[in-house]
Amino acid sequence: MLVHSRKGKWATWVLFFALFLPLFALPLLVIVAASFATSWSSALPTGFTGGHYQAATSGASLQALTTSLVTAVSASLLALLIGTWAALAAAALKKSGRRVLDALFMLPVAVPSVVVGLAVLVAFSKPPMVLNGTRWIVILAHTILVTAFAYQSVSAAIVRLDPAYEQAAASLGARPSYVLWKVKLPLLLPSLNAAAGLCFALSMGELSATMMLYPPDWMPLPVQIYAITDRGSLFTGSALSVILMTTTLLVLLLVSRIRTKASYR
Amino acid sequence: MASGIRFDKVSVAYGANTVLHSLDLTVEPGEVMALLGPSGSGKTTALRAVAGFVRPASGRVLIGDRDVTDLPPHRRGIGMVVQQYALFPHLRVEDNVAFGLKAQKVAKAEIPARVTEALEMTGMASYAKRYPRELSGGQQQRVAIARALAIRPGVLLLDEPLSALDAQLRSGMLAELARLHRELPDVSILYVTHDQVEALTLADRIAVMDKARLQDCGTPQELYRRPRTEFTASFVGNANLLPVQVGSGSVSFAGAQLKVPTGDVASGVSATLCVRPHLVGLGDGPNALTGSVSEVQWRGSTHRLYVDVDGHRLKADLRELRTPPALGDEVTVHFAPEDAVLLSAGVSKDG
Amino acid sequence: MASATLSAPVNKAANPRKGMPKWVWALPPVAVLALVFLYPLALVVQQSVQPDTGGTSLKPYADVFASSAFREALGTTVWLALGATVGCLVLGFALALVIAFVPFPGGKAVAKFIDVFLSFPSFLITLALLFVYGSVGMANGLWTDVTGAASGPFQFLTTPWGVLLAEITYFTPFVMRPLLAAFSQIETAQLEVASSLGAKPARIIRQVILPEALPALAAGGSLVLVMCLNEFGIVLFTGAKGVTTLPMLVYSKAILESDYPGACVVAVVNVLISVGLYGLYRVVSRRAGA
pLDDT tens string A139-162: 999 999 999 999 999 999 998 899
CATH 3.40.50.300, applies to B5-230: yes
B177-227 residue pLDDT tens: 999 999 988 999 999 999 998 999 999 999 999 999 999 899 999 999 888
Mean pLDDT (10-residue bins), chain A, 265 residues: 78 87 87 84 75 81 91 95 94 88 89 93 84 90 94 91 92 92 91 90 92 91 91 88 93 79 49
**A194 and A208 housed in the same domain:** yes
Q: What is the mean pLDDT of residues C276-287?
A: 78
DSSP per-residue letters across C186-221: S-HHHHHHHHHTT--HHHHIIIIIHHHHHHHHHHHH
Query: Within this chain, do residues A171 and A191 fall inside the same structural domain, yes or no?
Result: yes
Tell me the torsion sign for CA atoms B120, B138, B93, B157: negative
HEC string for C138-150: HHHHHHHHHHCCC
Is 2.40.50.100 the CATH number for B238-348? yes
Question: pTM for this structure?
Answer: 0.83
Is residue A140 a part of any domain in this protein? yes
Distance set, CA A49 to CA A27, A231, B156, C65 (Å)? 20, 20, 74, 51
Is A1 within the bounds of a domain? no
Sign of the alpha-carbon torsion through C195, C201, C204, C205: positive
Instruction: Please tell me whether residues A15 and A118 are part of one structural domain.
Output: no
C241 close to B (CB below 8 A)? no
Asked if B55 is an interface residue toward chain C (Cβ–Cβ < 8 A), one would say: yes
Q: How far apart are CA A166 and CA C75, in angstroms?
A: 52
List the single range of B59-63, B248-252, C92-96, C185-189 with lowest mean pLDDT: C185-189
Test B71 with C17 for CB contact under 8 angstroms: yes
Q: Does A181 touch chain B (CB under 8 A)?
A: no
Of A171, A186, A265, the CB nearest to B73: A171
Subunit contact A262:B89, Cβ cutoff 8 A: yes
Q: What is the mean pLDDT of residues C118-147?
A: 83
- When divided into structural domains, chain A yields a total of 2
Alpha carbon distance C99, C119 (integer Å): 20
Which residues have C-beta within 8 Å of that of residue B344, sequence separation ≥ 6? B228, B263, B264, B265, B271
CA distance C127 to C150: 23
Q: How many other β-carbons are positioned within 10 Å of the β-carbon of residue B305?
A: 25
Q: What is the CATH number of the domain that holds A94?
A: 1.10.3720.10
Tell me whether residues A27 and C267 touch, CB distance under 8 A. Answer: no
Q: How much is the ipTM here?
A: 0.85
Residue C34 has pLDDT above 70, yes or no: yes
Instruction: Determine the residue among A160, A162, A166, A171 to mutate to test chain B binding: the one whose Cβ has the most chain B Cβ atoms within 10 Å.
Output: A171
Residues A20 and A112 in one domain: no
**Is residue A21 within 8 Å of A231, Cβ to Cβ?**
no
Q: Give the architecture (CATH level 2) of C68-287.
A: Orthogonal Bundle (1.10)
Pair (A189, A249) in one structural domain? yes
Q: For residues B168 and B198, is the Cβ–Cβ distance under 8 A? A: no
Q: Does residue A204 share a domain with residue A100? A: yes
Would you call the peptide bond into A128 cis, given omega within 30 degrees of 0 as the criterion? yes
Residues A222, A99 share a domain: yes
Contacts of C33 in chain A (CB under 8 A): 82, 86, 104-105, 147
Mark whether A60 and A153 lie in a shared domain.
Answer: yes
Could you tell me the residue range of the domain that residue A141 belongs to?
52-263
The number of C-beta contacts closer than 8 angstroms across A and B is: 83
**Whether residues A100 and A125 fall in one domain:** yes
Domain boundaries, chain B: 5-230, 238-348
